[in-house]
Every structure is written in structure tokens, then in C-alpha cells.
């Protein structure tokens, strides 16, 4: 079953890819890894050249703003975080636009809060915007609206380092594939950073309560805020919306075309489409 599902990934037409902060930064300095960013842009541009719709959910605004302001550490003060997000988001988009233009691709920015999905009118308008951008061949770049929505960055992101946000986007635009690239190469029975005996699971068909409970105690890296719990929550949202989901390592962004080719990388969660009432009820509980 695992191999058959992976073979079908090449046929996916609308793909959401989420990149965590830790995957965008140099580990020693915390500053943007521009070589990795260029590889990411080339991979996404090639997906567009294959005729696929592509949406990028990118973290990193606060991190970029922090270094632009020459702050040695990520600020604890909420107002300072918002200021960093404002500066960093603009700089990050400038870099993305420059890199995408080198491959003759156009990108656009969409900033979201939890009300984008939970409010009926906001959800309708956001879906129309995404669809129009994709119709024009634009690659939407999505992040949380950290500069004004304080609950998004107070202590921990409501979406969990954009894990849940990317799943919300996948549900909103009816994507058929969500790829989460992070500091872990798939789903394990325990945190592999702390437990060397944690067992890797390559394929998950049923997100039952026992499986969801496995993610409760794991945490993310110092650069990001999303642990395995938010990734499992994202899997429940995305699969219920009718999208397969893959968790894979963001160490090398060449993994994107390898996944699309069907290589046995990461953990794949099989779609299990539910109705919109189920989805909205679950979203209200988790975001």
C-alpha cells in the first residue's frame, strides 16, 4: 500500500509545501541559508513547469527581522516580536521574489489568522484569492499575520510553527498533497532526538487516538515552535480535507522532487476525506 500511494504522488496537481524556520537557517548563526533558499525556489519552480499548482507556507519572518535588527536572541517581548515580524516578512518576500524571478516565476503574499478559516466570509474570500492567484500561475507564499494578531505569536503560534496553517491552506484550496519539511525525517513512536529506540513509521492510514497521543510529548527545535503534536494535528486536518500528507526532513530541499517521483522518503499519511462540518468542528478545537 505504501509503495502504491507513493507512486501516485507524481500525479498530484495541487501541492502545498510547508517550510519551518529551522529548515531555512544556518544552524550556527540562525541567519538565512541562501543556498538552501535558492534550491527551494528552483524545486518549486520546476513543479510549476510541470503544470502543478504550488503554494509555499514559509516560516521565518521573526527570525529574519531579528537579525535585521542585530538582536542576538529572539525577543521575548510581544511588541518586539511583532516588530521583527513586520521587518522580516518584507525582507523575506523580497528575497523570494528576487529568486523566483530568476526562474521566470511570480510569487504573491498571503497573510492569515485563524479567523481566515473559521469566519465564513473570510474563508470564502481567501479561497477566491488563492484560486485566482493559482489561475494566473502565481506561487502564493503564506505566513501567519504576526504583526497584528497577538494570539498568533504569544508564547506559541496558534498554528504550531505553520504546521496547522499549511493544513488549513490545503483544506481551503482543496489541495491533493501537503508536504511538511521540518527538522525531523518522518513520524516516530517517540522523539528520536531524545530516544534512540524510537521506531520510524513510513505509512499511516488511520489517525486513531492512540497515534495522536504519541505526539503529545514531543517538541520542536529551538528555531521553530512546532512539535510532532502539531504535525499530527495537521495530518488530521489535511487528510480529512482529502489530501495525502508527507512529513520529511528539510535538511535538503532536493527531497521535494524525490518525493514527487515516489521515492520512499518520510512518512506518508493517507487521505481520509470527511465532510466540511467535521473539518470545521475539529479546527475550532485545535486553533
Q: Looking at residue 195, what is its pLDDT?
A: 85
Spatial separation of the C-alpha atoms in residues 174 and 131, rounded to whole Å: 10
Q: The pTM is what?
A: 0.91
Q: Looking at residue 194, what is its pLDDT?
A: 83
Average pLDDT of span 47-55:
98
Which region among 8-17, 25-34, 209-218, 226-235 has the lowest average model confidence (pLDDT)? 209-218
pLDDT digits (tens, 9 = 90+) for 80-137: 999 999 999 999 999 999 999 999 999 999 999 877 878 889 999 999 999 999 999 9
Mean pLDDT estimate for the chain: 88
> 180 with 166: CB under 8 angstroms?
yes
pLDDT digits (tens, 9 = 90+) for 141-195: 999 886 665 554 554 455 656 899 999 999 999 999 999 998 889 999 887 878 8
Q: Looking at residue 43, what is its pLDDT?
A: 98
- Structural domain boundaries in the chain: 2-286
Q: Looking at residue 158, what is its pLDDT?
A: 56
Spatial separation of the C-alpha atoms in residues 30 and 222, rounded to whole Å: 10
Average pLDDT of span 10-37:
95
Q: Looking at residue 179, what is its pLDDT?
A: 98
Q: Looking at residue 224, what is its pLDDT?
A: 41
pLDDT digits (tens, 9 = 90+) for 218-262: 544 433 444 788 899 999 999 999 999 999 999 999 999 999 999
Choosing among 3.40.50.300, 2.40.70.10, 3.40.1160.10, 3.90.1150.10, the CATH entry for 2-286 is 3.40.1160.10
pLDDT over 50 (residue 280): yes
Residue reference for cell 517517540: 190
28 versus 193: the higher-pLDDT residue is 28
Work out the end-to-end distance of the chain between its first and last CA atoms, rounded to an integer number of angstroms: 32
How is 196-251 classified by DSSP, letter by letter?
TTPPEE-EES---HHHHHHTTT----SS----HHHHHHHHHHHHHTT-EEEEEE-S
Amino acid at each position: 500500500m505504501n509503495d502504491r500511494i507513493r507512486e501516485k504522488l507524481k500525479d498530484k496537481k495541487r501541492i502545498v509545501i510547508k517550510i519551518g524556520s529551522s529548515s531555512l537557517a544556518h544552524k550556527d548563526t540562525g541567519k538565512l541559508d541562501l543556498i538552501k533558499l535558492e534550491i527551494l525556489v528552483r524545486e518549486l519552480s520546476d513543479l510549476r513547469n510541470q503544470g502543478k499548482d504550488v503554494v509555499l507556507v514559509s516560516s521565518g519572518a521573526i527570525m529574519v527581522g531579528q537579525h535585521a535588527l542585530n538582536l542576538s536572541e529572539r525577543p521575548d517581548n510581544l511588541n518586539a516580536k511583532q516588530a521583527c515580524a513586520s521587518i522580516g516578512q518584507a525582507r523575506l518576500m523580497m528575497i523570494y521574489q528576487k529568486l523566483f524571478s530568476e526562474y521566470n516565476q511570480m510569487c504573491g503574499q498571503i497573510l492569515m489568522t485563524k479567523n481566515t478559516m473559521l469566519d465564513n466570509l473570510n474563508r470564502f474570500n481567501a479561497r477566491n484569492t488563492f484560486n485566482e492567484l493559482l489561475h494566473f500561475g502565481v506561487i502564493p507564499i503564506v505566513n501567519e499575520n504576526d504583526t497584528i494578531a497577538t494570539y498568533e505569536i504569544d508564547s506559541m503560534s496558534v498554528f504550531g510553527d505553520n504546521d496547522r496553517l499549511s493544513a488549513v491552506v490545503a483544506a481551503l484550496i482543496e489541495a491533493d498533497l501537503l508536504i511538511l519539511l521540518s527538522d525531523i525525517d518522518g513520524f516516530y513512536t517517540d522523539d528520536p532526538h531524545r530516544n534512540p529506540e524510537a521506531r520510524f513509521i513510513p505509512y499511516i492510514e488511520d489517525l486513531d487516538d492512540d497515534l495522536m497521543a504519541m505526539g503529545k510529548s514531543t517538541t520542536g527545535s529551538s528555531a521553530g515552535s512546532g512539535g510532532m503534536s502539531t504535525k499530527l494535528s495537521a495530518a488530521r486536518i489535511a487528510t480529512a480535507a482529502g489530501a495525502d500528507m508527507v512529513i520529511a526532513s528539510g535538511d535538503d530541499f532536493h527531497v521535494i522532487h524525490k518525493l514527487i517521483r515516489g521515492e520512499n522518503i518520510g512518512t506518508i499519511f493517507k487521505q481520509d476525506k470527511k465532510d466540511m462540518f467535521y473539518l470545521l468542528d475539529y479546527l475550532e478545537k485545535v486553533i
